[in-house]
Each structure stands twice: as C-alpha cells, then as structure tokens.
Structure 1
C-alpha cells in the first residue's frame, strides 16, 4: 500500500494474518498482565492502602480527560477505508494539542480535585499526573498506525516495555520511601515509554498540519465514539467515586487493589482482541456471513480463555488474596470475587464493541451505552448502602442484566448471529459457573493458602474435564477455538468458514 493512499483491503491471507496477530498480541498481553500482577504484589507490600486510595481518587477525576485526549480518533484512523498521510499527520497534531491543553487544565484544577475529596495531597498528585496527557496524546496516532497495518509484533514490544519500565520506576521510588509518589512516577514513566516506543516502532514523523484535507468523517466518527466513552467512563468509575466520596481513601485503596489485580489485567487481555478484530471486521463489512462467523468464533475464543480464567479466580479468591496481597489486604477478598463475576459478563459482551467500531455505528453504540451506564450507576449506588462490598456486588449485577440486552441491541443493527451468541455465552456461563463452584468446594477441604489454591485448580479442572467428556458441543467449541492457533501456524485456510 502506498503510504499516501492507505486503503483497507480484504486479501486472501487476511485470516492467517489476523490469527498470527492474535497469537502475538495475546502473548504480549500475557506478559504485560504478569508485569501488572507482579507490580500489584510487590507494591502492595511497599505501600499502604491510603497511598493507593489517594492516587485512585486523582485518577478517577482526571482520567476523564484522557478520553478527550484521544477524542475517538485512534479508532477513527484504524477503521477508515482510506487514510492519506496528511490526514494521519493532522490527526497526530489534533491528539497532541488536545493532550497538551488537558495537561495544563489538570495542573490548574488540581486544588479543585483536592477540595472535592478534602485531601490536600491530591494537589501534587494531580499535577504530577498532568504530564501523562501530553505524552499519551503524542502516542495516540503512532499506536493507531501500527494497529491499522497489523504490525502486531512492534505494537506488542511497546506494550510490554512501557509497563515494565513504569513498574521499575515505581519500585525504585517506593523502596526509597517516596510513598504515593511511586505510583505517580510509575504512571509518568509508562506514558513516556509508550510515546517513545511508538515513534521508534512506527518510523514516521508528522509533517506540519494542513487545511483542506477531508477530516469531517473522521471527526464525526471520533465525536460519536467520544460520547460513548464518556458515558462508559462515568459508569465505570462511579464505584471509585462513590467509595472515595462516601468512605474515604483507606476503603478506596482496598477496593482499588482488588480492581487493579483483576480488572486491569483483564482489560489488557481483552484489548488485543479489538486490536486484531477491528481491522479484520472492517475488511469484512460487505460479507455478512463471514462477518457474523468471525464474531461468533471471537466470542468462543474469549469464553474458553478469559472466562475460564475468571472461573478459577472466583473459586480461589481467598487464597489468591492472601498470597498476592498479604494480610493487610484481606478485606479485598469479597470485592475480588464480585469483580470476577462482573468480568465474565463484560467479556461475553465485548464482541459487540468490535462490531460497532468496525461498522462505524458509533452513534448506535452511544445510545446503547447510555442505557447500560444507567443500569450500572443504579446498581452501584444502590449497592453502596451496604458499603464497599455492596458497591462491588452492584458492579457485578449490572453486566449480568445488561449482557443479553447488549447482544439484542447489536443484532438489530448489524449482521451478527444473535441466537448463536446467546446460546454460546449461556453455555459458557453455566459450564464455567459450575467449574468455579467445584473449585471453591474443593478448596474448603483443606487449610493453608497454597493448598487451597492447588485444590481449587484441581476442582475447576475436574469439572471442566467432565463437561468436555460428556457434552459434544463443548468439544466442538474447543475445536473451533483451536483452529485459530492452527491457522496462525499456517495449517488451516486463511479465513473462517461460514457456519454449516
């Protein structure tokens, strides 16, 4: 493809390229998740819940600015059928300019953030985090460029290096007694590495911005997506805001550690699926049968990997909390279990997000997000009556209620197989729910965290083996998921075949 006239095309090797990309990106995210979990474990023993609560307070407020920094323009660039080099350059300057402006605003508004929570330490924390707006703004279009061209190996290298170097900076600061500054330094170093790595991997420098380029379509896509993300952000952070405002920094720190230990790695593991699926589905828009089949197999892949892992977390929450976080964090155990349950239904609904972006239906996505956000905010606020654990329970109930609605909504507007998605997802919930129950029951037979962890794994594995041996549909599902790996090795045909 010529750099000045970059056009998305669906060639015969698309499926093989996508499958190989999936292996690379999932592999990198597994490493990134290990870094994330390792960081939580190490820093949890060096810092206090109060330290984490303070930084979580600042992130819950200033984090909304990061959505404005992106403005939906990274996804707009990835899904565009045609993107000229000048359009790409203009997008770079837009994201960088917005990031710089937001950094200045965050710096100036730091006293307001501190006043909101009545925590004076939030002034330097917020001002330190303000630098990340500029750095992330500069990185946005570099990452979009790598994703659009399916350069997943380079993208994976950046995604592993940035949190690793950030963690090193955080640990060094924590050991030196810097307290919450360790968490601020971790965020800044991660953003700086992400920006520098994007420049090195993409190997292009932006030219000066120019008028006259057709930007309206990209901006319209981005605006609709931004609206969706803003609503989603409000619903996703209502838990932290509610806990911080009602219960203070210490309980928020406990909740935040449970959330970071589970939901952030889960988000990182789901993100590669969008990285791979978005350019592929964008090329399959005019082939409804192949489009729907790709989505169906995508949901199966998420169910038999991420949902399976979440079943183990639900079964072994007690020993995992004890081993990974230590005795000062034991209050996080019930929170972690509820968050894992929430992650199951969020993951099964995630394929809808691919579809909306790939088809450009960000306006439809916005309307659905308003509905789902209302459900989550209501559930969390009602749950807060029972304290931090009640907030976590409300956070879990919301996606349970919203999941079937999400699939029905996307099926109204796109050629996705609603019945197949509902039946596949329900099968996964019942199967892995029973696996989680078996694992938990097994873990209660012994004492000692490591012994409980081992028996939980045995119980989950035994229950899954029973499903595999007695239910032919489960064996077929696994065969279809395995075909993605075989395709990545070049042993299967390029694209997913329509369902028989």
Structure 2
C-alpha cells in the first residue's frame, strides 16, 4: 500500500476517535461554560503555566526516541524506568514550588491545587513508553479508543463536580483519574510490565538517545515559553478573570491545531519512519501533507476572523463575549502554526534536532517580544502583536532556515507556497486591526484561491484515494 493510502487510512482511524472526542468536548463546553466561571478556569490556568512548563521535562523526547530506535524490550524497559524517575522528581519539585508559585501571584489558594495537579507527572510518566510503543506499531485504533474513553470520563466528571459546586477542582480531578485509566489501558495492550529493571539499564538506554533527548529538550523548553509567556503575563498583570477569557480564546486556537496538525503529527512521524526505512521520498510526501493541512484549516480560520463575536455568543453566552475580540488574531495564527507544528517530527527523523532547537529559540524570542509589547497596551494587544510578530519574523525564518537549509526544499517552490501565505496574512492582520470587514473578506477569498491553485494536485490525489476506496467498498458489497 502506498504512503498516501496508508497515511490517510491511519489518519481516518485516529481522526475518527479524535474528532468524536473533540466534538464531545466542544458540545460539553455549552454546559461547563455555564456551570464554571472564567475565574475557575483562570485559577487553574495560573497553576498550569508552571506545571505545564515542568511537564516539558516529563517526556524529554523519550516517546520519539522509542519510536525512532530499533532497540528491543530491554531498551524499552530502561526508557520506561527513566520516564518514571523523571516523573517522581518532577512531582517533588512541583510540590516544593507550590508556595513560591502562589506567592508570585499573591494567591495562596493555589498551593493545594498545584500539589494535587502535580500527581499527574507520576501517572503520565508511566504511560509515555507504552503509548510510544503503540504508535511505533501504527496501532492508532487503540490510541484513539483510550482518547475517546478518557474524554467521556473527563467530561462526565467535570460536569458532575461543577454541578456539585467543586469549582476549579472540577477541572483538576478528572485529569488525575484519566491518566490512571491510560496506564491500565496501555499496559493491557503492550504488556511491558510494571517491574523496573536495574538502574544500569536506564543509564544505557539514556546513553543511546542522549543527544536526541538533549536537543529536543532544548527546543521544548524555549518553545513552551514562546507559547505560554502570554498566560504568565495575563495572569500576573490582568488577573484570573482576564486569564480565563484569554485561555478560552487560546483554546479555540489549539483546538484546530490538535484536531488537524496534532492528529497528522501523531500519524506522520511513525509513517515517515516506515517510509524512510523503505527508501521513500520524505520531502515529497511531507509537502503533500502540508498542502492538505493548509486546505483543512482554512474554513476554521475564516470563521474565527469573520464571525468571532457571533461564534462566542452561540457557544458560551454573554459571560465570554470578550473572547471574540481576540479570535481574529488567533485565527491568523492557525495558518502558520498548523504548518510549522509538524516540522519537528521530520527534523527528528532526519537527525536534525539541533536545527529544530535553533528554530525554537528564534521563534521564542520574537513571540515573547510580541507578547511583551502587546501586554503594555491591553489584553487584545497581546493577541495582536503575538500574531504580527509570528507573521513578520517566525514564518519567513522557518521558510528559509528549516525548509530550505535543513530539509533541502528547493527555494522557488518554497517561495511560491509560503510568500502568498505570509503577505496575505499580513494584509488580513491590517484589516483586522483597522476593522475593515470588506478588506478582510477579499483577502480571505484571495487566500482560498491561492491554496486551491497551489494544492490542485494534492486535491486530485485525495479525491482519487477516496473514490478508489468507495469503488472497492461497492465491489465488496456485491
């Protein structure tokens, strides 16, 4: 079976579960947004700025190293032990930092929730290698099942606890329960065993993957703060209510990134690993995936940019209308971030983790600079300058440094694909800033025409794959 057919088969399997899970989350937000207030989400957001940063160390590239390597059971057990020890250290570290974190925000109600939430470092560390083994074997059916199960459990618990008046605990407790469910399910499917090998196995396993882990960790650390400095600044300067508003808007940005690029990335890395081992053309197939992503995310960005207030009003009601002022700028970020977010998988596969780290540093500098400048003006200013600096600096740099220099894409096709996206995105940003609806619509339509023209071969290929699938299903039914 060709790469494209295998890739889309796995995407559809994983996507079926993921999209159903996200649909459940999306529909449940109608209820949770009315049971919980912005300050409830904001309080948890204050904690997760730090706990999510510390969680960067939890995986440290372990899952990608397991997928990439050709080592067997002893190596997997060594990496499993490494993940667990890291999880335990992070739990202790976060518990010790709970008081300083609360003091930073001058809110000591954060101490106990921070300690409880840090338990997830231990529980999730046990799932890292087991989940990676399922991905390595392209067993996306089981990965999708546990995603769906955890989503349903989490939503039901959140609604129940919120109804009972648990406030922020309704968001925290389900995270611990679902991480335990993942451990049980993954172990049942992989049979890796809970017995820890001696420490020497952990040292040997780490030695074999040290360079890869170090470079990935270097990228993840700076990439985290490039994506979360805004939460830190909003929480510190504007307070928990505004952070709840900002987080709700940002969740609408991460939702399509999770649904599209997160899904694609989950399937892409092990699929490209298999293609590479068979001597296939990685760049050709990766270009195909990028163009498919650009077409899929366009309608989402269009709605965010053209109808932000209407969307928020329908979804969550009047308590959240301020989210609408941020959405157009996050809608612009969807175009660029959805395309760049998959580069890490390819660079790791090509043993160019250092290029990934340098790209992360560059992007973090300009992202944080934009957020800091925007914070001087307003909450909306953060979203405005965040997206502007991403368009002006991060996209052009990655076009040249990552795609041309590191991945060896030819410059002319790159310019034909990226320049229209960058220039049109800048024009849309200006029309949003000056509130010119007519210009926004015209530029968005130009973006659509550009995407269709540049991706016509990919569209034909997709249609061919699906028509072939339909024909084969019809034949088998007779």
**Same fold by TM-score, threshold 0.5 exceeded?**
yes
Aligned to 2:347: 356
Q: Does 1:409 align with 2:401?
A: yes
- Partners of 1:352 and 1:406 within 8 A in 2: no
Instruction: Tell me by how many angstroms 1:322 deviates.
Output: 0.4
Equivalent-residue separation in structure 2 for 1:488 and 1:394 (angstroms): 45
- Shift in Å, 1:472: 5.3
Return 5+ residue gaps in structure 2 as ranges: 432-436, 473-478
Question: CA contact under 8 A between 1:435 and 1:463: conserved in structure 2?
Answer: no
- Offset at 1:310? 1.7
Question: Residue 121 of structure 2 is aligned with which of 133, 136, 142?
Answer: 133
Between the two proteins, the alignment pairs up a number of residues equal to 462
The 8 Å contact of residues 244 and 252 in structure 1, kept in 2 or not, is answered as yes
Are residues 435 and 364 of structure 1, via their aligned partners in 2, closer, same or farther at CA, if it must alter by over 3 Å? Answer: closer
Partner of 1:90: 78
Q: Name the residue aligned to 2:44.
A: 55
Pick from 260, 279, 283 the counterpart of residue 270 of structure 2.
279
Q: Secondary structure at the residue paired with 1:63?
A: helix
More helix by share: 2
Q: 1:214 to 1:121 in 2, by over 3 A?
A: closer
Report the more deviating stretch, 222-231 or 410-419.
Answer: 410-419
Contact between 1:232 and 1:369, CA under 8 Å: does it hold in 2? yes
Higher relative contact order (CA 8 A, sep 6+): 1
TM (normalized to structure 2)?
0.88
Cα 1:422–1:183 shift into 2, 3 Å:
farther
In 2: Cα distance, 1:474 partner to 1:122 partner: 49
Contact 2:216/2:353 (<8 A) preserved:
yes
CA contact (8 A) 2:332 2:425 kept: no
- Mean Cα deviation higher: 69-78 or 203-212: 203-212
Shift of 1:484: 5.4
Contiguous gaps of at least 5 residues in structure 1: 1-11, 439-443, 446-455, 492-500
Counterpart Cα distance in 1 of 2:368 and 2:428: 30
Point out the more displaced range, 97-106 or 239-248: 97-106
Q: CA deviation at 1:376?
A: 0.2
Query: 1: CA distance between counterparts of 2:355 and 2:229?
Result: 23
CA distance in 2, matches of 1:72, 1:420: 32
Separation in structure 2 between the aligned mates of residue 14 and residue 205 of structure 1, nearest angstrom? 33
Provide the residue aligned with 2:233 in structure 1.
242
Moved more, 412-421 or 89-98: 412-421
1: CA distance, partners of 2:44 / 2:176: 13
Determine helix, strand or coil for the equivalent of 1:127.
Answer: helix
Name the residue aligned to 2:186.
Answer: 198
- Note the C-alpha offset of 1:283: 3.6
Give the Cα separation in 1 of the matches to 2:59 and 2:248: 26
Instruction: Select between 90-99 and 396-405 the one with higher mean Cα deviation.
Output: 396-405
- Give 2:19's aligned residue: 30
Measured in 2, the distance between the counterparts of 1:465 and 1:342 equals 14
Give 1:146 deviation, angstroms.
0.8
Query: 8 Å contact 1:263–1:339 — kept in the other structure?
Result: no
Matches for 1:205-220 after TM superposition, within 5 Å? 205-210=193-198, 211=200, 213=204, 215-220=206-211
Structure 2 SS opposite 1:205: coil
Deviates more, 1:282-291 or 1:373-382: 282-291
Change (3 A) 1:464 1:34: farther
1:479 corresponds to: 460
Give me the whole-angstrom Cα distance separating, in 1, the residues matched to 2:25 and 2:373. 31
